[in-house]
């Protein structure tokens, strides 16, 4: 069975008295994505996000949102709330870190969402596709509305079954595209029908060189120099599509909180329909449908699947801002820890097929 290894490049500075004060300004993606404005609309309350990864340490910026989960690694007891690698804690922090009462500490995209930690990879990121499959099954059974699978690579029959089960169970499934040069094409489960494949951009909003390209990339998010929580009270800095995927997982939680009755495939549709187009007009292999736009995804008038119009109406503030800016070999390979958010619902299968062949008109590029 396939092994798991980490492609995200992390440094873990020692915890220090001023580390919590420094981390928030370093989280450049918060300003870029207008997270503060998005939080006035939704903060992810009532949504459970499963993080299948190396476990999640109860970091002080995150612990209030951390549920008891599980480990799927044979012979390893625990409830998922232990991380000897940092990757899983970093992903969880990007999704749901609540920070501290004085406004310091790390902040997640959905700081009122709950994290369901699933340790499917060990301290060295070693795991199997079947361990990941068990983790996905656990997430479905324990009410996850979103699954962040921080891995990409080979797939076993059990993993394929589990991912399809999540899609059918109305779980939002999002997966990382992969990291170059180790990965040369979009891996599994990002390429599975019904899964949101996530690529990355840099600080300038351009394609991140580390991000794999291909026809299964659906959307992109910040992926370079991304700061988050780490184990033992420390913080991390990561570059890779892991981080981008965790950010998209948080975005899905915001949408599911604001629109609790919206099916998973409509959550995915809302994310891609409101994305800010980059590269060639319409969908392309670098950016997918574009850069995630949290505020538009929460507020735009997005017709449901099957009733699309010729355009998506963005909220006035977003449209104006965009106008101003305009003017001025997988089954043999291991699963690499990347960060993957899962988008589910049977209709999402049709969503990917239809939107591959019928791209929406592009929005103004950031």
By annotation, the residues acting in catalysis are 53, 87, 242
- C-alpha 66/C-alpha 62 separation (Å) is 7
- C-alpha 298/C-alpha 275 separation (Å) is 11
- Chain centroid to CA 108: 11
Question: Which residues on neighbouring strands pair with residue 52, listed in sequence order?
Answer: 118, 149
Residue 282 region by backbone torsions, left for phi larger than 0, else alpha for psi between -120 and 50, else beta: left
Residue 31: what are its φ and ψ, rounded to 5°? -70, -40
Q: What string of H, E and C letters represents the secondary structure of the chain?
A: CCCEECCCEEECCCCCCCHHHHHHHHCHHHHHCCHHHHHCCCCCCCCEEEEEEECCCCCCCCHHHECCCEECCCCCCCCCCCCCCCHHHHHHHHHHCCCCCCCCCCCCCCCCCEEEEEECECCCCCECHHHHHHHHHHHHHCCCCEEEECCEECCCHHHHHHHHHHHHCCCEEEEECCECCCCCCCCECCCCCCCEEEEEECCCCCECCCECCCCCCCEEEECCCEEEECHHHCEEEEECHHHHHHHHHHHHHHHHHHCCCCCHHHHHHHHHHCCECCCCCCCECCCECCECCHHHHHHCECCCCCCCCCCCECCHHHHHHHHHHHHCCHHHCCEECCCCEECCCCHHHHHHHHHHHCCCCCCCCC
């Amino acid at each position: 069975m396939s092994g798991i290894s980490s492609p995200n490049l992390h440094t873990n500075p020692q915890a220090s008295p001023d580390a919590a004060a420094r981390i928030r300004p370093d989280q450049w993606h918060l300003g870029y994505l207008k997270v503060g404005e998005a939080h006035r609309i939704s903060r992810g309350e009532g949504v459970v996000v499963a993080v299948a990864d190396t476990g999640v340490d109860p970091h002080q910026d995150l612990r209030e949102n951390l549920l008891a989960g599980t480990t799927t690694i044979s012979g390893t007891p625990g409830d998922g709330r232990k991380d000897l690698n940092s990757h899983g804690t970093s992903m969880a922090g990007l999704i749901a870190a609540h920070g501290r009462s004085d406004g310091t500490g790390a902040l997640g995209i959905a700081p009122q969402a709950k994290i369901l930690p699933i340790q499917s990879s060990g301290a060295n990121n070693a795991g199997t596709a079947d361990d990941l499959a068990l983790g996905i099954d656990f997430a479905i059974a324990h009410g996850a509305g979103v699954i962040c699978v921080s891995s990409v690579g080979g797939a076993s029959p059990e993993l394929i079954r589990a991912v399809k089960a999540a899609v059918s169970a109305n779980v939002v499934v999002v997966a990382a595209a992969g990291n170059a040069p180790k990965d040369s094409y979009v891996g599994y489960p990002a390429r599975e029908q019904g899964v949101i494949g996530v690529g990355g951009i840099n600080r300038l909003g351009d394609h991140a060189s580390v991000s794999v390209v291909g026809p299964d990339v659906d959307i992109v998010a910040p992926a370079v120099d991304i700061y988050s929580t780490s184990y033992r009270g420390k913080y991390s800095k990561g570059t890779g599509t892991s981080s981008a995927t965790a950010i998209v997982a948080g975005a899905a939680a915001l949408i599911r909180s604001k629109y609790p009755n919206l099916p998973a495939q409509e959550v995915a549709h809302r994310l891609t329909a409101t994305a800010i187009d980059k590269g060639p007009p319409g969908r392309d292999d670098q950016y997918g449908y574009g850069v995630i736009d949290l505020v538009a995804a929460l507020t735009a008038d997005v017709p449901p699947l099957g009733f699309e119009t010729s355009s998506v109406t963005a909220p006035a503030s977003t449209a104006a801002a965009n106008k101003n800016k305009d003017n001025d070999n997988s089954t043999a390979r291991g699963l690499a820890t990347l960060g993957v958010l899962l988008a589910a619902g049977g209709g999402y299968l049709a969503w990917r097929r239809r939107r591959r062949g019928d791209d929406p008109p592009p929005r103004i590029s950031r």
